[in-house]
Chain A
Amino acid sequence: MSYLIGENMTGGYGAADILHGCNIIAEKGEIAVIVGPNGAGKSTAMKAIFGMLNIHTGSIILDGEDITSLSPQARVAKGMAFVPQTANVFPSMSVEENLEMGAFLRRDDIGKTMGEVFDLFPILKDKRNQNAGELSGGQRQQVAVGRALMTQPKVLMLDEPTAGVSPIVMDELFDNIIEVAKTGITILMVEQNARQALNIADKGYVMVQGRNKFTDTGEVLLNNPEVRKSFLGG
């Protein structure tokens, strides 16, 4: 059985449904990427998987367990970590304090995990006592991802992690994401930089208007002429 399954998800924020029978599946240690044009429901699908959105039809299954009725906080306790697109750090607290807050639910010694995060993002180690709000956009994204990693999650969900970030930092960020996946963490990512994202993806989901349009490995999707024509830009 697949590790993370969001199946037949249908629902929205209010009266109108945004998702229509959407299916997102990720295996353990896999990088699954959701791409699509603006307004396709990519972030909505991910929020539904995290529980920030109520779906009236469909279910979310994590490691064989049905978690559809759990609140987002409860899902964090089950091993999910979510990095929002904006407002994803505590700006008036230092980098180190941000990481400590990420590990809030843990009662054991977090020093080892913090060391691993600093190994992954060395610049954060230099700036550990600086307030997160003073960092550049790319560094702040690193703090946000680091904060999510502090719970030692089984699934890491990222909402447009490279939004507003320079190309070099974007490459670094994607390299870091691959590193994280190698440790066995399942990655689910919504991205606008579709080409680069599909490059590193094991599985890609192209969504259009709340529905799955194409589902395949990243490589196949990149070479699919219809995908390229419709929104990768030829």
Chain B
Amino acid sequence: MEDLLNAFFLMSNFVFVPAIAYGSQLALGAVGVTLVYGILRFSNFAHGDIMAFGTMIVILFTWLFQSYGINLGPLPTALIALPFGILATAIFLLGSDKFVYKFYREKKAVPVTYLIASVGIMFVLNGIVRFIIGPDDQRFADGERFIIKAKAMKQYLGTAEGVSIKVSQGLTVVTAVIVVVALFWFLNKTRTGKSMRAFSDNEDLALLSGISPDKVVSVTWILVAILATIAGTLYGLDKSFKPFTYFMLLLPIFASAIVGGLGNPLGAIAGGFVIAFSEIMITYPYKKFVAYIVPGDWKPEGLVQLLATDYKFAVSFIILVLVLLFKPTGIFAGKSV
């Protein structure tokens, strides 16, 4: 009985809790991608670097506040810096729309043109972020580190294994829930939100109904700024900020959006968790877990690991390829790619 409890704690500590946190971060990123795909009708390859840009601004303001001695007690100071990051990112995105995407909209370009343009914006952001903050790891988390410590739990319960829950992980889940609820309220209950869903559904009919395409485009980019900055900041608080890592997040984020069904925000959230859990569960060494479950002589020799952790991104990639091959519209039947 105690062995089963230990097995559960082990899985929670190394798989469930990290996967839920990572899944929330991917979910927020994927919703941003899926909104652009559904409403603006193109794949935004710059999304990872938009997250990096937003997080960079948050980090700079966090350092500023920390130097002034401003802090939030047990919570990270980055939370106060968040609105500044969102504002800066929103300005950048609206600017990029005005100077890049609008040109192609007027020419009625095909979607792949916007995709390539977004790759260009990706490179520009790549350069800007590295130029301002450098290519190295940056840590900006402060405040309390843990909500629950595994050691304390082990002592309290007398078990061999315990569960750690970091403040950043708890914050991720709480923030993600708040953001998602707010987004769905906006899309389903407000006039502007409904007009954006209508625009995504049937663009010609939306224009005939008097819906202003410029307003829909602007609001979409502002939502992307909010989602990307929050997702990037939560990821940076949880792990660390490194421009290259954020660029690499593009793969699992797109995989999440596609698995859930492009254009469908609910799908993006579900997809985020599917990818996160898959990545972590497929690369986790189950040796200790199996040892707790099976009787003594059956203890495994090797690590019982399906794929080495180096292959984490390969998992996202394989899932992406399988979904595109067998069910391209995704779980929630969004628009196919």
Do A and B come from the same complex? yes
Residues of A within 8 A of B (CB): 72-73, 76-77, 82, 84, 87-93, 97, 100-102, 104-105, 147
Whether A89 pairs with B210 at a CB distance below 8 angstroms is: no
Cα–Cα distance between A45 and B276 once the two chains are bound (Å): 56
Segment of B133-141, B178-186, B191-199 in the binding face: B191-199
Given the known A-B contacts A93-B194, A97-B194, are A102 and B201 also in contact in the complex, defined by CB atoms under 8 Å? no
Q: Once the chains are docked, how many angstroms separate the CA of A161 from the CA of B206?
A: 19
Instruction: Assess the B202–A90 pair: CB atoms within 8 A.
Output: yes
Q: Does B222 contact A (CB under 8 A)?
A: no
Minimum C-beta distance from B44 to chain A (A): 21
A93 to B194, CA, bound (A): 9
The answer to whether B207 has its CB under 8 Å from any CB of chain A is yes
A82-B201 contact in complex given A93-B194, A101-B195, A104-B195, C-beta closer than 8 Å: no
- Cβ of A91 and Cβ of B202 under 8 Å apart? yes
The answer to whether A93 touches B205, judged by C-beta atoms less than 8 angstroms apart, is no
Q: Is B305 an interface residue (CB 8 A)?
A: no
Kindly list chain A residues whose C-beta atoms are within 8 Å of the C-beta of B208. Answer: 72-73, 76, 82, 84
Q: A77-B210, A104-B210, A105-B210 are known contacts. Are A87 and B205 too (CB-CB below 8 A)? A: yes
In-complex Cβ contact of A105 among B197, B202, B204, B209 (8 A): B209
Q: Given the complex, which residues of B lie within 8 Å of A105, measured CB to CB?
A: 209-210
Q: Which of B197, B202, B204 has the most CB of A within 10 A?
A: B202
**Which 8 A-B pairs rank lowest in CB-CB distance, beginning with the nearest?**
A105-B210, A90-B201, A104-B209, A101-B198, A104-B210, A90-B198, A92-B201, A101-B209
Chain B residues whose C-beta falls within 8 Å of the C-beta of A89 in the assembled complex: 202, 205
Q: Which of A77, A82, A101 contacts B194 (CB 8 A)?
A: A101
Please, which residues of chain A bring their CB within 8 A of the CB of B150? none
Query: How many residues of B are in contact with the other chain, CB < 8 A?
Result: 15
The residues of B that contact A77 with a CB separation of less than 8 Å are: 210
Task: Assess the B205–A84 pair: CB atoms within 8 A.
Answer: yes
In the complex, what residues of A have CB within 8 A of residue B210's CB? 73, 76-77, 104-105
Q: Is the interface of B mostly helix, strand, loop or mixed?
A: helix
Q: A residues within 8 A CB of B198?
A: 90, 93, 97, 101
Knowing A73-B210, A76-B210, A102-B209 are in contact, say whether A87-B204 is a contact too (CB < 8 A). yes
- Which listed residue (B194, B202, B206) contacts A100, Cβ 8 A? B194
Residues of B within 8 Å of A97, CB to CB, are 194, 197-198
CB neighbours of B207 from chain A (8 A): 72-73
Chain A CB within 8 A of B79 CB: no
Nearest-neighbor residue (CB-CB) of B210 within chain A: A105
CA distance A84 to B207 in the complex (A): 13
* Minimum distance in angstroms from A148 CB to a CB of chain B: 9
Provide the bound-state CA to CA distance between A100 and B206, in Å: 12
| A89, A102, A104, most chain B CB atoms within 10 A | A104
Measured CA separation A104–B201 after assembly (Å): 15
- Of residues 118 through 170 on chain B, the ones whose CB sits less than 8 Å from some CB of chain A are none
Verify B194–A91 contact, CB threshold 8 A.
no
Can you sample 12 A-B contacts with CB below 8 Å? A76-B208, A76-B209, A84-B208, A87-B202, A89-B202, A90-B198, A90-B201, A90-B202, A90-B205, A90-B206, A92-B197, A97-B198
Task: Confirm or deny: B60 has a beta carbon within 8 angstroms of a beta carbon on chain A.
Answer: no
- The residue of chain B having its C-beta at the shortest distance from the C-beta of A102 within the complex is B209
Max chain B C-beta neighbours (<10 A), residue from A87, A88, A90, A102: A90
Given A87-B202, A87-B204: A93 in contact with B197 (beta carbons within 8 A): yes
- The CA-CA distance from A101 to B190 in the complex, in Å, is 12
> Given the complex of chains A and B, what is the CA–CA distance between A76 and B206 in angstroms?
12
B324 within 8 A of A: no
Q: Other than the known A87-B202, A91-B202, A101-B209, what 4 A-B pairs have Cβ atoms closer than 8 Å?
A: A84-B205, A84-B208, A90-B197, A101-B206
Question: What chain B residues lie within 8 Å of A82 (beta carbons)?
Answer: 208
Cα distance A197–B319 when bound, in Å?
55
Are the CB atoms of B201 and A91 closer together than 8 Å? yes
How many angstroms between the C-alpha atoms of A105 and B211 in the bound complex? 8
| Residue from the set B195, B197, B205, B208 with the largest chain A CB neighbour count within 10 Å | B208
